[in-house]
Amino acid sequence: MTEIARELRTFWTEGRPVERVAYAIAALFLLSGLAHLGIQAAVGGPWDGPVSWRKPTTFGLSFGLTVLSATWVASFLRIGERLRAGLLGGFLVASTAEVALITVQAWRRVPSHFNFETPFDTGVTMVLAAGGGVLFVVLGALFAQSLRAQPLLAPELRLGIRLGFGALLAGLVTGAIMIGIGTVLVRGGDPQAAYHGAGVFKLAHAVGLHGIAVLPGVAWLSGLRSRDREHQAGSAGAMSPELRLATAGYLGLLACALVAGAQGRLDALTVLGIALTGSVLLSALYRVLAAVLRGKRVVSGDTVR
């Protein structure tokens, strides 16, 4: 575990300025999420619904993890420095706007999404929607960069990065579907139905977003095992058993979450599917961590500096 921590620490100590800013902002988001979780525990109140401390909690934690993960994953890619700074800068501005506005509306005790009651609330709703669009463009551009030749990366890590960005975009598309459903319903005069109708895809949205941490993470950890670079270079296109297992489990979990969203409920079969695919994913994580903790170590790919 100390080897993993040492490797991860280098991404801060050797990180580019924009990456270090991103890591610091991600930490602030995480602290904000934890602080609001503490407020929820202290003052109580509903966890569900359009007005609750759940929103700043989940947005803080989710955006913190996403900014941290996407910045880390993007650090492996060969990208022009100006383009990297521009894409990460846009990502940080949009993410900060999303978390800040969600938090402001929670403290005002009014809904953050689908709220057209006042000009200010309407503006917040529109900025949140626009921020989602910016995130899709910026992260889509990073995904496109990952599809270009990345000769300094081990094949498995390159594949894991592509899968991770693809998963993240799937999560953003699911979020856009949620916004679309809610907007149609609230414009039709039924705001309560809007919050429920959009909320059925929450699980799929969350699973998609955090694929950017899981799949590249498994690929990176797989590369910390005992393999020399000549073996890596000769295994182009290969996928380790751990990454193969993690990908199958993750895609199965995402599919089950999408089915649950489309149905608008969790039935027994979907719950069973989530349990099984989640177990497969956890098994992959356990296997790769166990292999690393046995003390076998080699870095699977170089961060492009």
Give the pTM: 0.87
Most confident of 11-15, 60-64, 286-290: 60-64
Report the b/e string of 22-32 with b at 16+ CB within 10 A.
Answer: bbebbeebbeb
> Which of 1-15, 48-62, 267-281 is predicted with the least confidence, judged by mean pLDDT?
1-15
Q: How far apart are CA 45 and CA 53, in angstroms?
A: 8
What integer is the mean pLDDT of 188-212?
Answer: 81
Per-residue pLDDT tens digits for 122-165: 999 899 989 999 999 999 999 999 999 888 888 889 999 999 99
Q: Give the per-residue pLDDT at 65.
A: 96
| Cα 42 to the center of its chain, rounded Å | 28
The predicted model gives 161-184 an average pLDDT of: 90
Domain boundaries of the chain, sorted by first residue: 2-293
DSSP string, 234-260: TTTT---HHHHHHHHHHHHHHHHHHHH
